[in-house]
Structure 1
Amino acid sequence: MTPRPPVEISPPDISAYQDGGTGVPWFIALDSGRQGPHVLLTALVHGNEPCGAIALDALMKARLRPAAGKVTLGFVNVAAYARFDPADPCRTRFLDQDMNRLWDSAVLEGKSRSRELDRARQIRPIVNEADMLLDLHSMQQDATSLILAGRHEKGLDLARRVGTPETVVRDDGHLTGRRLRDYGRFGDSEEDAAALLVECGQHWSVRAAETALETALAFLLRTGAIDRVPAGLRPLAEPRPQRVVDVTHTVTTATDRFTFAADFRGLEVMERAGAPIGRDGAHPILAPHDGCVIIMPCHNVRKGQTAVRLGRFVEADGVGDGAE
């Protein structure tokens, strides 16, 4: 087992946001009264990832006001978050099932019940209304922050527009279920609605909380939802050139005995095809091609979970140079 990183941050008290004027508890509506898109920022899809909650709390305390359209801030899996314990921080990712694998119409409209499904059904009308979504997450490893932009060009376009973090991952999600960022119009190439999922850093690090707030502000400013950083918050730095990783393979575990060949943290490059990446029980996992990039390795996984994504750096007009 990989040692658990320390809990460096204090999860905020979000009780003041239970009644946010949307009719959905812990979703807060901020309406400019002017024409413009509906921008949705979500945190706590996983109850043990407090960086997004810290960011949304900071925005509320800074008296965020949209310049155009409507901004909604949403704390998603509040029931799991309420049980967060710094002494056992891995335990409250969810209560019954992973809330970021439920966002398929057939699942949401089916007969199954769980606390996460009930909550997803409750917030679904707000998600349906949103034109742009930023879903704030964090990672198991202390690794470089990532934008997960999905597979369609509109996701990459939105990532370019926001400009931070610097590494953009184009991917198809998970075999085990659809993420919030891939739901409905966000995952439809024929629709304009677009979404980003941002992995801000290690779950309980100060850096993840700082990245979550910086990314939220960049998203709001560069989509035109606000016209200035609220007073009291740190001004944004100029965006740096981005680089794009295209996911070519997703490794979903077939056993409970997955191990890596090295202490991968993410964005390592295996120069040659066939280089050892890990083992799934007795089955070797090898680099499928030259220049294979390790993306979001998860060192403590069970059967049926995503252990790692594999990809390659690619060139994209105006985004990075395709090099490590």
Structure 2
Amino acid sequence: MNAPAHTAYLHAQQFAALTPGPRLIVTGAVHGNETCGTQAIRRTLDDIQSGRLQLERGLLTLLPVTNPYAYAKKERQGDRNLNRNLRPGNPSGDYEDRVADVLCPWLDAHEVLLDLHSFHTGGQAFAMLGPRDNAGQLEPFSHERQEERLVAHLGARCVVEGWMQAYERGVQRRRRERPDAPAELLDAAYGVGTAEYMRSRGGYGVTLECGQHEDPHAPEVAYRAIRQTLALLGMARIPLQPPPPEFTVYHLEDVVDMDHAGDTLVKPWASFDPVAQGEPIGRRHDGTLVRAERDGFVVFPNPRALPGNEWFYFAVRSDRTLNIE
């Protein structure tokens, strides 16, 4: 690890109102090349420090840069992907594991998370939603209604669910086909990122994908989301805007890894581009085509993925509706 000295700490700013209320943490730059959240959080900090925004209830923690090493590199990750296998006490000593040792206790101390991201290729903003209430083994949860209300007010009309189920399938495939892969890629907890960790600790959290990395509108999407979250939770006197009249909800069915640096996508896919059963999505370096197993949609296509990491996701329409009351 060759992280520069100025990446040796996390810098969060916290505001505690004198009236009790929700405990909210907002994070940006979990991936170092995703800076819309950083810009929006810094704008919110300026609003608070100038008096334009006043916290009236609860506790607000703002973390503009969650992964300083990746941010300094202007790359997705430092040593590894911080938003996978997130937990304290990982023994590897990777930079992101050291970040997790600080970040996870901060998440533990809050009830609600808003995690702000962007994505590689074109497409509209979308929100990542957790599971329905359940007592299962994979991702037990009891805040479905609260999380759906939060998603409904963030401004995105597209919603994606099924993250952990897709990763469970991906890990099982790696164990069958690539048993010599790095241990973290074979870990059943590999899909756990900030929101999943938050749910595992009794809270709830939403990941908002605000647009393509360079989209000039993405910071505004992130800024509006912060303000609407504060409004929804009753933490500041900000008008709560009505949610969109309709949402399109997608369910992630699978995650497909890039196996080799020579793997290529057959076209410049954007998230939610439709694909028909049998249609080629990518081509392996040996010429083998990767085809859609059924009618569905491409999500998170990443033509610059690292070998062994996520190349694209496959989704179908979900029958889930959001509780927006």
| TM-score, normalised via structure 2 length | 0.77
Question: What is the percentage of aligned positions where both structures have the same residue?
Answer: 23
Q: Give the one of 68, 77, 83 matched to 2:57.
A: 68
The equivalent position to 1:96 in structure 2, one of 51, 67, 79, is: 79
Matches within 5 A, 1:172-191: 172-173=163-164, 174=167, 175=171, 176=185, 177=190, 178-183=192-197, 185-187=198-200, 191=202
Amino acid aligned to 2:255 = T
Which residue of structure 2 aligns with residue 34 of structure 1? Answer: 19
Does residue 168 (structure 1) correspond to residue 159 (structure 2)? The answer is yes
Partner SS state of residue 38, structure 2: helix
Deviation at 1:156, TM superposition (A): 7.1
Contact 2:148 2:322 in 1 (8 A): no
2:231 alignment partner, one of 213, 217, 221: 221
CA contact (8 A) 1:242 1:319 kept: no
Is the alpha carbon distance of 1:156 and 1:249 closer, same or farther for their aligned partners in structure 2, counting shifts above 3 Å?
farther
What's the counterpart of residue 77 of structure 1?
A: 67
CA distance in 2, matches of 1:113, 1:318: 41
For residue 264 of structure 2, give the secondary structure of its aligned residue in structure 1: strand
**Displacement, 1:157?**
4.8
CA RMSD after TM alignment: 2.5
Is the 1:139–1:199 contact (alpha carbons within 8 Å) kept by the matching residues of 2?
yes
Q: Distance in 1 between matches of 2:323 and 2:299?
A: 19
Distance 1:83 1:302 in 2: 16
Give how far 1:52 is off: 0.5
Compute the displacement of 1:194 (Å).
Answer: 0.6
Alignment of 1:201-216 (within 5 A): 201-216=211-226
Which amino acid counterpart does residue 39 of structure 1 have in structure 2?
A: L
Distance 1:186 1:170 in 2: 14
For 2:257 and 2:200, the matched residues in 1 are separated by: 21
The CA distance in 1 between the partners of 2:307 and 2:160, in whole Å, is 24
Distance 1:62 1:297, change over 3 A: same
Which of 105, 113, 116 is the matching residue for 2:96? 116
Check conservation: 2:267, 2:281, Cα contact below 8 A: yes
Q: Determine if contact 1:41/1:73 at 8 Å carries over to the other structure.
A: yes
Q: Distance in 1 between matches of 2:92 and 2:12?
A: 24
Question: What CA distance in whole angstroms lies between the structure 2 residues aligned with 1:159 and 1:203?
Answer: 25
- Counterparts in 2 of 1:160 and 1:167: CA distance versus 1, 3 Å: farther
Per-residue deviation, 1:226: 2.2
Q: Is the 8 A contact 1:165 1:215 kept in 2?
A: no
Alignment of 1:190-201 (within 5 A): 191=202, 193-201=203-211
Q: Which amino acid aligns with 1:139?
A: F
Deviation at 1:139, TM superposition (A): 0.7
Q: SS of the residue aligned with 1:100?
A: coil
In the superposition, the TM-score normalised over structure 1's length comes to: 0.77
Deviations, residues 42-78 of structure 1 (Å, cap 9, x unaligned)? 0111122111111111111111432321111113112
Unaligned runs of 5+ in 2: 1-5, 134-142, 172-184
SS across alignment from 1:48 = coil
- 1:1-324 aligned at under 5 Å gives the runs 25-63=10-48, 64-75=53-64, 76-84=66-74, 92-104=75-87, 108-153=88-133, 154=143, 157-163=146-152, 164-173=155-164, 174=167, 175=171, 176=185, 177=190, 178-183=192-197, 185-187=198-200, 191=202, 193-228=203-238, 238-240=242-244, 241-270=246-275, 272-282=276-286, 283-290=288-295, 292-318=296-322
Quote the offset at 1:209 in angstroms: 1.0
Aligned mates of 1:162, 1:66 — CA distance in 2: 21
Deviation at 1:27, TM superposition (A): 1.1
One-letter identity of the residue aligned with 1:239: P
Shift of 1:279: 2.1
Query: Is the contact made by 2:228 and 2:238 (CA closer than 8 Å) also made in structure 1?
Result: no
Q: Is the Cα contact below 8 Å between 2:126 and 2:159 reproduced in 1?
A: yes
Deviations along 1:17-42, one digit per CA (max 9) or x if unpaired, are: x9xxxxx7411111112222211100
**Cα distance in 1 for residues equivalent to 2:270 and 2:60:** 34
Alignment deviations for residues 86-139 of structure 1 (CA, whole Å, 9 cap, x no partner) = xxxxxx3222222112413xxx31321122221221222111111110111111
Structure 2 CA distance for aligned equivalents of residues 97 and 80 of structure 1: 9
The answer to whether the 8 A contact 1:150-1:170 is kept is yes
- 1:169 is displaced (CA, Å) by 0.3
